[in-house]
A and B are shown apart, each in its own frame.
Chain A
Amino acid sequence: MTPNGSLLLLAMILSPMLVGAADTNLLLPPKEAADHPNPSGPVPTEARRIALQTAGAFVNDGFRIRDGEWPISLSLGKPVFLEVTLFAGNSYWFVASSADPVSRLRVTVYDSAGTPQKGEQWKDGGKSSGDSAAAGVAPERSGKYYVGVELLESPRSGGVDCCLVYAYK
């Protein structure tokens, strides 16, 4: 076999492995907390910044962000809930963010009976520095609703600081 032929054969053997390795990185467990640039843990104000930045995208669509936020410390398996008052005819986006990129959040809107509401779900797909999730609803009935925020994944043993904001139009 010529040297060129050997190199080609080697490349053919290695390339699927390399491509596979690159793609399976997505399936590997999340990066350990110790590798995080801020091992002492993210600060709530950073979570707020990311939440407002994320919600800012909805402003381009005519949404107005409420001047208020809900700082939360989340633990795995322990969702937390906020009572809100929504109006039929308005549309809402509830955005929860954490400065911790290895966490995975979920936001769900429930009616006053506690039933999850159908609506849009949004995830940042790991594009930002932290993790953000959002739920969009256009309630058919005015009244009391609940917004649930839960931590789906986190390698941390303690709580993960998050922030919830919302926008309406």
Chain B
Amino acid sequence: MLKGRYLAILAFMAVCVHGAPVTMTAAQKESAVFLDALSVPSPGEVFSALNRSCRPNWATLVTTATAPVTTERAQLALAVGVLAADGYIAVEAKEGQQVKNVGREIMNVAKSLGVSQSLMGRGNSLIEFADNNDWDALADELEATENEVKSTMVGQKDRDLVTLTSSAAWLRGLEVATGVVLGSEDVRGASPLKQPELARRLYSQLELLPDRLKGSHLVSGVGQVLEEIATLLETTGLSKDQERENLRRIHEKAAGIVQSIMASAGSQSSPTPAITPEASKEKPPASASTPVSKP
């Protein structure tokens, strides 16, 4: 009893002594750290928010994961991000075989990047968790695998590639999420996707890349798409129809660049067809790696 009283006094004193948190200063906001591993949301977070607002049919969103055949390191780094997001979709759909396929493709890309040595254990874990239908562990392992690829990139003095992987994962997540929202009649669930600051931040990080990377048409394309998407996401005061049109444009831009990322060298990527609500009810939204049957 006495202890409880003392603890209450302590708690009161702590508030009096330390005070309640106050509003941040401009300098504090300026000094805030942006950390790839925590500041960029994982596709799992995007899909978690989507699950609450739209309840997507994940099974229809699973795509065949095929890594591009290329020697361009920037494209390979971007592909890791897209594949990681595809892995999350397969986890949401509880498609164990597809998660294994994604894991295998990530290993292939990692091998091409020369960062596969430390990833063999991850690949085995993905297979084991998929066989045991351990979906939570699979989601954790996917994020860990993506992060391990990134940390190996950093270790090999390829830190710049990390931004590309994060940007691609977010763009693929946005492509899927906007596609799902467009499938609903009242574009329910669009508000959680409004992350213009993140699009701007990723764009500004790409701007800081060395010229040898920025010279890649894919990297400059990703940067351009991020900037355009940021502008579209910043638009406010739209009617429901304008909101749908806005989302459709975001979806098309994200899908188009994801398609280019996953295209093998020498192959021609085609723009993704637009989605209509009627079509999306019947069919999953057009995806970079999903074959789209035209209406």
Are A70 and B35 closer than 8 Å at their CB atoms?
yes
A24–B6 Cα distance when bound, in Å, is 8
- Chain B residue at smallest Cβ distance from A62: B136
Contacts of B3 in A (CB 8 A): 23, 26
- Most A-side CB within 10 Å, residue of B40, B48, B53, B144: B48
Residue from the list B18, B21, B44, B193 in contact with A148, Cβ < 8 A:
B21
**What does the 1/0 interface line of B182-202 toward A look like (CB < 8 Å)?**
000000000111111110010
* Total inter-chain residue pairs, C-beta < 8 Å: 136
Contacts of A89 in B (CB 8 A): 48-49, 52-53, 192
Are A66 and B143 closer than 8 Å at their CB atoms?
yes
Are A114 and B25 closer than 8 Å at their CB atoms?
yes
Are B18 and A152 closer than 8 Å at their CB atoms?
yes
**What does the 1/0 interface line of A60-87 toward B look like (CB < 8 Å)?**
0000111111100000000111111111
Which of the segments A6-14, A38-46, A139-147 contacts the partner chain?
A139-147
Q: A67-B147, A142-B194 are known contacts. Are A87 and B45 too (CB-CB below 8 A)? A: yes
- Chain A residue at smallest Cβ distance from B145: A67
8 Å CB interface, B20-46 against A:
20-26, 28-29, 31-42, 44-46
Chain A interface (Cβ < 8 Å from any Cβ of B) = 19, 23-24, 26-27, 64-70, 79-90, 104, 106, 108, 110, 112-116, 141-144, 146, 148, 152, 164, 166, 168-169
Q: Can you give 15 contacting A-B residue pairs, CB < 8 Å?
A: A26-B3, A26-B10, A27-B9, A65-B140, A66-B42, A70-B35, A82-B32, A82-B35, A89-B48, A90-B192, A110-B21, A116-B21, A116-B23, A143-B194, A144-B198
